Structure formats: C-alpha cells, structure tokens
Amino acid sequence: MKSRALLSLLVFAMVLATSAAAQVIYENGPINGNTDAWTINFGFVVSDSFTISNGPTAVGGLSFGVWLNPGDILESVEVSLTSEQFGGTIFFDGQVPLTQTGCVLNQYGFNICTETGSFTGTVFNNGMYWLNLQNAMDTESNPVFWDENSGIGCHSPGCPSEAGENFESIPSESFSLLGTSSSSTSVPEPSSLLLFASGVIGLGAAVRRRLM
C-alpha cells in the first residue's frame, strides 16, 4: 500500500509539474515550410508517432508548424494521444486552445506559423504512441495544414515519426511534445526546434489536400 501511495503521489506531482516546468520530451525536427503540408480540418486526421524513452513522462503540451492563408489565425485543434495510429487506447482527447507565433510567408503564399498549446497532463511509460490532430478551428474557416518535414533534423529517440492521414501513409510532420520526464535530457527548447530548416527544400512541390 505504501509503495502504491508513493507512486500515485509521484505521478500526480509529475502531472502538476507539466504546466509549471515543461520540457521538450519528444521532437520530430524543425518546421520545413517549403515542401508540403497536410489538412487537419474538414474531416481529415493526421497521426504521427512519438516515442517515450526516459521512464514515466507526463505529456501536457505541444508545438507544431502549420500553413495558413495570410491573416488567418488558428484558434484551437483537437488533440488526441493514443496507443495506435488513429485509435486504440485513448489517453487524452480534447480541443486545445493555441497560441500562434512566428508567422513567415513562404513562396506559395501561405503563412508558416508555430502553434503552441497545453492540456491536462497524461503520464506515459516507455514505448511508442500516436499524436493525432484534427478539427482545427481557424478564424476564417479555411483549410489548415500541418507542415511536413519528414523528421529531417530530429534528435529524439524513435524519430523520425511514422505518419498517416486518414489511414494513408505519408511523410511525418514538424512537432514537439512538451512535459516532464523522470530523467533530464538535453533536447533543445521549443523555440529552437520550430525554426525553418536551412535551405529551400522542394521548391517545385505542391501542397497536398490544399483544395477541398
């Protein structure tokens, strides 16, 4: 009983610490902003894998890159964390308010922005899980696209992520998950993770799922 009580207190303390001292606990590399992007509203769901490797870890926030029409603001997105791609055990599922920063116009006429949000912390043991984004809500009711980076430049164990949209396999997207881990790591802060990759990649590529 004592060991169970101590474990419960530890888990509770980790969840509380997520909002107070969030760290990057998994990242799939920086925003690309020039190659491609995938719709996360109008019925489309994009799912990317993430790996927990430092013992019990409370996940309670995320940052990710989006493509938006100029002047558009992404207000929230439905975030779910699951045991399998697009499903399985649901550890968290909720509409998460977002803060939009660092928007830069790319050569296709889209604003490439960083979106950051926090939610109720959920503790994960070591293993591979899935981040699913859908039902993005923006001010202009336009399509919202999650930036594709194929995991180039990622540093976390288990990266690059596997990914899919509506059960179709696709290259993975730019994102980092925030939380608190049982062991400290030297991963970069979110602000440095979500910078543009050096150079212009795939200048001739078109955005998939761009027109409904």
Q: What is the pTM of this model?
A: 0.80
Q: How far is Cα 41 from Cα 211, in angstroms, rounded to an integer?
A: 12
Strand residues in 19-126 grouped as ranges (E): 23-27, 36-39, 46-52, 57-68, 74-84, 87-97, 99-105, 111-124
* In the chain, where the domains are located: 2-193
Q: What is the pLDDT of residue 21?
A: 57
Q: What is the pLDDT of residue 208?
A: 53
Residue 177 to residues 16, 174, 198, 204, Cα–Cα distance (Å)? 16, 11, 22, 30
| CA neighbor of 178 nearest in space, from 98, 81, 100, 62 | 62
CB 164 within 8 A of CB 72: no
Q: What is the pLDDT of residue 182?
A: 73
| CA neighbor of 104 nearest in space, from 31, 207, 174, 24 | 31
Sign of CA dihedral 201, 203, 205, 206: positive
What is the residue type of 73? I
CB 57 within 8 A of CB 182: yes
Neighbours of 211 (CB within 10 A): 7
| CA neighbor of 24 nearest in space, from 45, 42, 50 | 50
Per-residue pLDDT of the chain (212 residues; tens, 9 = 90+): 333 333 333 333 333 333 345 799 999 999 999 999 999 999 999 999 999 999 999 999 999 999 999 999 999 999 999 999 999 999 999 999 999 999 999 999 999 999 999 999 999 999 999 999 999 999 999 999 999 999 999 999 999 999 999 989 999 999 999 999 876 443 333 333 333 333 333 333 344 554 33
